[in-house]
Amino acid sequence: MWQSYFNGFSLSLGIIVAIGAQNAFVLAQSLKREHHFPVAAICALADLLLIIAGVFGMAALLREFPQIAEWARWGGVIFLTAYGTFSMKRVLYPGAGLEAEGAVKRNLSIVVATTLAVTLLNPHVYLDTLFLIGSVGAQQAAPAAYAAGAASASIIWFFGLAIAAAALSPWLSRPSFWRLVDALIAVLMWRIAWGLFQNGA
């Protein structure tokens, strides 16, 4: 059982640590200290549900109906392009930039909706979590322990990222730093969107 647990933990952590749209969003929200714990909780919960679905059969459903992943791919192209554009607007017009302290906080419902979009409109989450983690989990001696290990890695990573970034935000509140964060996020979002677009060309 423990071998399956650590297999799930190590594979999930290896996948999730790679910088991507979701990690960049969690980082930005945490540096702003803007509903960063709900954001981390949503990301971890989404991973948990996708891991369970992948280990216990959802991967087979997506193989049967590949159009689901295709719809998610085009939704991801549109959303990530727009999100990157808004981030670059804050770089070009510093008055709209991020501020760690004193910024007007967005409504929680808006942040929740954006978190769900960043998470679920990225086909990579289905390929990695449902197909890869799910297919390996189906071969484990203890699939439930494997799923628990994979979910544990997600919980530790997202909450660790949120806590660490929020703790550092007082030292990273310079406008130049926030413009750099926005620029990096914009480039990352556009790069991912372009990659998704090319996959369908």
CA separation for the pair 126, 141 (Å, rounded): 23
Question: Of the ranges 60-69, 115-124, 148-157, which one carries the lowest mean pLDDT score?
Answer: 60-69
- C-beta of residue 27 within 8 angstroms of C-beta of residue 162: no
Q: Which of 4-8, 58-62, 162-166, 167-171 has the highest mean pLDDT?
A: 162-166
CA separation for the pair 119, 115 (Å, rounded): 6
Q: Band of the pLDDT at 100, cuts 50, 70, 90?
A: very low
Task: Look at residue 68 in the predicted model and tell me its pLDDT.
Answer: 67
Distance between start and end Cα atoms, the chain: 43
Give residue-wise pLDDT tens across range 137-158. 766 778 889 889 999 999 999 9
CA of residue 157 relative to chain centroid, distance: 11
Residues 6+ apart with CB under 8 A from 165: 26, 27, 30, 31, 36
Percent of the chain with pLDDT over 70: 83
141-165 residues labelled b (16+ CB within 10 A) or e (exposed): ebbbbbbbbbbbbbbebbbebbeeb
Task: Look at residue 12 in the predicted model and tell me its pLDDT.
Answer: 82
CA separation for the pair 87, 89 (Å, rounded): 5
Q: Give me the residue spans of the domains in the chain.
A: 2-200
Chain length of the chain: 201
